[in-house]
Structure 1
Amino acid sequence: MDALPKGAKHPKYLFGGVVAGIRDYGNRVGIPTVAGCIVFDEGYLGNILVNVACVGFAKKSQLVRNRVASPRDVFILAGGRTGRDGIHGVTYASLELTEKSVKGWQAGAVQLGDPILKEPLIHACIECARAGFLDGLKDLGGGGLSCVVGEMALAGGCGAEVDLEKVPLKEKGLAPWEIWVSESQERMMLAVLPEHVDDVMRIFDLYDVPATVVGRAIPQKIGRVSYAGTVVLEMDLEFYTGGPEYTREYRPARPPPEEGVRLPPEPRDYRSTILKLLAAPNIASKEYVIRQYDHEVRASTVLKPMQGVIGKAAHGDASVIRPLVDSWRALAIAVASTPHITSLDPFVGGASAVDEMCRNLVAVGSRPHSLTNCLNFGNPEKPDRLWSFREAVRGIGTTAKALGIPIPSGNVSFYNESPRGPCPPTPVVLGVGMVDDLRRCVTSDFKGSGDPIVLVGATGPELGGSEYLRLRGRGLAPVPGVDALGLRASMDHLLQAIRAGTVRACHDLSHGGLAIAAAEMCLGGDIGADLKTSAMEPFRWDVQLFSESNGRWLVEVAKDRYEEFMHLLEGVPTTYLGTTGGGSLHLARGRQWTSLAVPVMRKAWTEAIPRQVVVA
């Protein structure tokens, strides 16, 4: 409690509230919650981060742009009523969280969600788009009406007139400026030609969703807002909507981070070390959270967040969705976040997020297609914060470009600071992969006894930011590097092997390195494995087991197709480690060895999160 800033809520309370909020809204809106990640770090004590992404699919013919298409267009506000909740929401989000700032804005900065209204609103918008009635469509986010109207009009080369008296309200007495800037949830703005207005209203009435004409586009690039017959705002739209372009100073923090290698002594008891890592919050089972979310709604989730033997499943690398029941093609969805690396090297942290996201998608047999991101950083007015942001963006962009992966969307969250300082620089990446035939997908759990286990990718002494050094509480090592061209080649070859049917299980190596990846595969399959690391790069055994080098997967190969697998992986670094089987994970190198029974690992792995985060 001493570490909490004055007035801050306890992490257990916040964690429980966030999980409940996602659960209670997501489970009711009819969209499966299929992927995610949870990161614990003391740096979030004063300012937690919550990022949500949504993946949609549609026919090209029904896609609608976020703009008006003609000065004849009419603005229709559809969905929830406008209230005082959410006023100054983005303003509040652009402040450092001090006791003073919280008191100044806490009255109404947080919106009140209504998932029961959101689902029919989605259906009504989609039906209008399919019918060809919409010239433009955009949600009301930050700034509410004050942003959406100008953005849609200016993007179409027009201006706009809005009558605030026509906006449906939650309560009487809202001032014009409150109506204009409110960020109340579940609202969409539609741009519709006059001849289609009645058709649109009929559809929204069918779904029992409020819809009201509140304005129109005009040829002049002017934003004109009236209330009670009086013009309360009239401004040049390019000036009003365009916004300033900042040129701020950026520089790395002083002094620069220490470099070199200074590892702690090797553990005397590797068994105890692995069990402690399995119980570490960033590695331990997140089933307590996952089981609260409905990942089955719509009955299209083929590979689920937990994969393996029923009742004993472990984390999967990605989920797979089947959008069309008459096709074997599918979408894979995966998430990655790398604050532990970005804090030490922002460029490599950004690059590593893309690397890990791609590995997660490839691990189930999908080819990475595109990604989006949310970049969470501190106050950009401080040069070192802006430098971290710039470097992370460079890392993401450089790596994605080298891999040929587009980034069609994204989001930035600044000012994530408290009296404790900035939160860890946190790039969060969500990627989508294409699956040609979902029947060829693989999961992360070991499948049977006697199958060869192969490490794909090269291991380096890269323990910087690792869970192992966090556990040991000391040490210095390089952060994991990113070889984008090598990763691209590895992905191509591994995907060929998966599609050929030579791979029975695949899991990427990230938090905790080789030892933890092997343990998770054993847990998911409820079966042991016998691995010898003698053929790996000649580092200390703790480096071999716990290095978090990028670009690596652990693969269970079908025993009668090992030679075919190795032929398909020709040119890619591979290391034969051992075989599946038994009831324990046995690890050895020369005279060093350790063994962990699967039930013992499961107890450490499954009990940690409920014990640490549940409020008694």
Structure 2
Amino acid sequence: KHPRYLVNGVVSGIRDYGNRCGIPTITGGFFFDEKYTGNCLVNVACLGIVKRKDLANNFAGGPGEVMILIGGRTGRDGIHGVNFASADLTATSDEDSRGAVQLGDPITKEPVMHACFEVNAKHLITGMKDLGGGGLSCVVGEMALEAGCGADVDLEKVPLKEPGLAPWEIWVSESQERMMCTCKPENVDKVLEIFDMWDVLATPIAKTTDKRRTRLFWNGELIFDMDLEFLTGGPVYNRPYTLPKVSSKANEKFPALPSDKEVILKMLSDFNVASKEWAIRQYDHEVRASTAIHPMVGKLNETGPGDASVLLPVPGSKRGLAAAIGCNPWFCEADPYKGGMAAIDETCRNIVAVGAMPNAFTDCLNFGNPEIPERLGVFREAVRGLGEIARELNIPIPSGNVSLYNEAPGGKHILPTPMLLGCGIIDDVTKAVTADFKRAGSCIFIVGKTKDEMGASLLFRKFGGVEGEVPGVDIPALKRNMANLLKAMDKRLVLSCHDCSDGGLAIAVAEMCISGQIGAELDLSGMEGDLRRNLYSESNSRWIVEIDGKDVTEFTEIMGDDAQIIGITKGDSLKIKDNGTEIPVSEMRKAWNDPIWNIMGGGSQ
């Protein structure tokens, strides 16, 4: 399928499901590369909030409990879905595996959620878990195994979409909108009454037992009996791996570049930088009326890119919940260890940029076939990087997912893609900061050290650079800069803030100009090293910050040597004094705004 068809279908599917569920779609990202052409990735994460006293277990309470299947009926859609996800794609996968794709029903999903909230809030259930990969075959075993018990399942009781499903099809179907809960026998009627009130199908189909076995019955006949630990515990693999050869400074070839004006405009037009408004405007990020900071920032109809979105999840409270993603698959391809660390660094930068302290991460680790030693070596190093920086930051990764075997026809594999979603707390959302320049005459600072780290940068990818040092993470510096920058934001010293990522300092400032409709005059003579490396290096742990002139002294006292002034907001162009470059903001906006609209359609003339 053509990438344009796939992008349109994915965006439409997320829109039509998420909007109808009444859940705001508040943040996200696009990553375009030839290596995704034969195997596109779609990662979705969800944040929820619950009172601590109402936290539910995802396993049963013990033997003698009733397992109740909730929500949608079970059909032939989604059969072997996880098998399909773990198989290399071929030219005939579209037809051969069509039945592996689940059919979503958001109209069923919303009342299922509300009914689950109610039975949980009334503490009528002992455990609850969704039916994901493997359907009943996984959820039954997982809920029983964690509780130290077994389960007897009556498969004929499972509500079906159509007659004639074989027992094995019912057992492994991955039909959507289904949950499983467990409860004491005396609470079954109360639980079923609540689901009936919400017009949600709920059917007792199994009981937990004191035998650590999974047994399936069909109209009273035992058709399956297997040791639970063997069935559900899963094997531990110890496969051979080959550590990757990483990009290095020794083999670097810096590309011949056109003028900086042309470089900046071309990078702003790159699909990985250009405006994603075509997709964002299809999503409802305002539903529930609690979104304080939106995915795009600036004046209405002249918005630019933001860093993180901020919700006000508790009515009447000023505490905000910030959410942002972080991922750089090109870093991970060039140096998986540094790429894994960079994913968390970027997530932290985005969250801190709005004034929130990073609190937790979740991830989806998308990699190739782990049976190939080179692929497993890349996966190993990326996970090592993720784990090392998370431990040093003392920030948990309490949940996540792994997607392997992402290979396309002909043996081509995707870019290694560790996708991170982070959340953070801001105690007073009125102190939140956005990325758009606010006024002319402010001072522009760069926070964090810019290093000669050009490996896998957008500049090298766009203009033919070879290898180079991949940006690393100085974890103590990251912790110090986050703490100090948040301290300055808490004192309301920061007018605007934007993280440095794709395209480096130059693109970060250009994006702030675009979203604020204000120009900037840069003078990088105070920075060490080559001008172009300073402009386009993608060193981690850096932010561009706008500070009012009267607050510069206090800001620099807080930040110390980690902040350096590099210019002022001024006029209606981006000027680089060091070499005379001048680019009108209107020209930058057009270069940034138009590319995806032009490809996908719908842009205004």
Normalised by the length of structure 2, the TM-score is: 0.98
| Contact 1:502–1:557 (8 Å) recurs in 2 | yes
How far apart in 1 are the matches of 2:204 and 2:315?
A: 38
State, as a whole percentage, how many aligned pairs show the same letter.
52
> In 1, are the aligned partners of 2:246 and 2:335 still within 8 Å (CA)?
no
Superposed CA deviations along residues 46-73 of structure 1, whole A, max 9, x for unmatched, are 1000000000010011111111102121
Deviation at 1:581? 2.1
Q: Which amino acid aligns with 2:580?
A: W
Q: SS at the partner of 1:267?
A: coil
Aligned-pair distance for 1:611?
1.6
Instruction: For residue 206 of structure 2, give the secondary structure of its aligned residue in structure 1.
Output: strand
Aligned-residue CA RMSD (Å): 1.4
Q: Given the alignment of the two structures, is residue 495 of structure 1 paired with residue 482 of structure 2, yes or no?
A: no
Task: Note the C-alpha offset of 1:420.
Answer: 4.7
In structure 2, what is the equivalent of residue 69 of structure 1? 61
Amino acid at match of 1:410: G
* Structure 1: 4+ residue segments shifted above 6 A: none
User: 2:355 matched to which residue of 1?
Assistant: 365
- Deviation (angstroms), 1:385: 0.5
Q: Is the partner of 2:214 in helix, strand or coil?
A: strand
What is the aligned partner in structure 1 of residue 383 from structure 2?
393
Whether 1:36 aligns to 2:23 is no
State the shift of 1:257 in Å: 5.0
Within 5 A, what are the aligned runs for 1:199-214?
A: 199-214=190-205
2:315 corresponds to which letter in structure 1?
Answer: V
In the alignment, residue 208 of structure 1 is paired with which amino acid? Answer: D
Residue in 1 that maps onto 2:90: 98
Q: How far off is 1:614 after superposition?
A: 4.2
1:6 aligned residue? none
Instruction: List per-residue Cα deviations over 1:518-554 (Å, max 9, x = no partner).
Output: 0110111111111111111222x22111110001000
> Does structure 2 retain, via aligned residues, the 8 Å contact 1:526–1:598?
yes
Q: Distance in 1 between matches of 2:216 and 2:85?
A: 26
Q: Which runs of 5+ in 2 are unaligned?
A: none
CA shift, 1:77, in A, is 0.3
CA contact (8 A) 1:264 1:472 kept: no
Letter in 2 for 1:21: G
In the alignment, is residue 198 of structure 1 matched against residue 198 of structure 2?
A: no
1:115 CA drift (Å): 0.4
Tell me what 1:597 maps to: 584
Conserved in 1, the CA contact under 8 Å of 2:255 and 2:465? no
What residue in structure 2 maps to residue 282 of structure 1?
272
Select 2:145's aligned residue among 149, 154, 159.
Answer: 154
State the match for 2:74 in structure 1.
82
2:154 maps to 1:163: yes
Aligned with 2:573 (options 579, 584, 601): 584
1:133-532 paired onto structure 2 within 5 Å: 133-253=124-244, 257=247, 259-260=249-250, 262-265=252-255, 267-418=257-408, 419-532=410-523
C-alpha distance in 2 between matches for 1:279 and 1:302: 29
Equivalent of 1:115 in 106, 116, 131? 106
8 Å Cα contact 2:255/2:464 also seen in 1:
no
Q: Offset of 1:326 from its aligned partner?
A: 1.5
Q: For 2:565, what is the secondary structure of its paired residue?
A: strand
The Cα of 1:91 is off from its aligned counterpart by 0.4
Q: What is the distance in 2 between the residues matched to 1:309 and 1:543? A: 32
Which SS does the other structure have where 1:283 is aligned? coil
Taking the aligned partners of 2:566 and 2:59, their CA distance within structure 1 comes to: 56
- What amino acid does structure 1 have at the position aligned with 2:591? A
The answer to whether the 8 A contact 1:81-1:169 is kept is: yes
Report the equivalent of 1:50: 42
Contact 2:248 2:455 (C-alpha < 8 Å) held by counterparts: no
Give me the whole-angstrom Cα distance separating, in 1, the residues matched to 2:241 and 2:254.
34
**Aligned-pair distance for 1:266?**
5.1
CA–CA distance in 1 between the matches of 2:235 and 2:107?
38
* 1:168-215 per-position Cα deviation (integer Å, ceiling 9, x unaligned): 000010000000000000000010111111111111111111111101
Deviation at 1:268, TM superposition (A): 3.7
SS state of the match for residue 99, structure 1? Answer: coil
Deviation track 1:587-610 (CA, whole Å, cap 9, x = no partner) reads 121xx1211111111111110112
- CA positional deviation for 1:269: 1.4
Contact (CA 8 Å) 1:445, 1:522: kept in 2 or not? Answer: yes
d(CA) in 2 for partners of 1:343, 1:542? 24
CA contact (8 A) 1:263 1:476 kept: yes
Counterpart selection for 1:612 from 561, 585, 599: 599
Q: Which of the numbers 535, 551, 562 marks the counterpart of 2:541?
A: 551
Mapped to 2, the partners of 1:375 and 1:545 lie a distance apart of 31
Query: 1: CA distance between counterparts of 2:4 and 2:255?
Result: 34
Q: Which runs of 5+ in 1 are unaligned?
A: 1-8
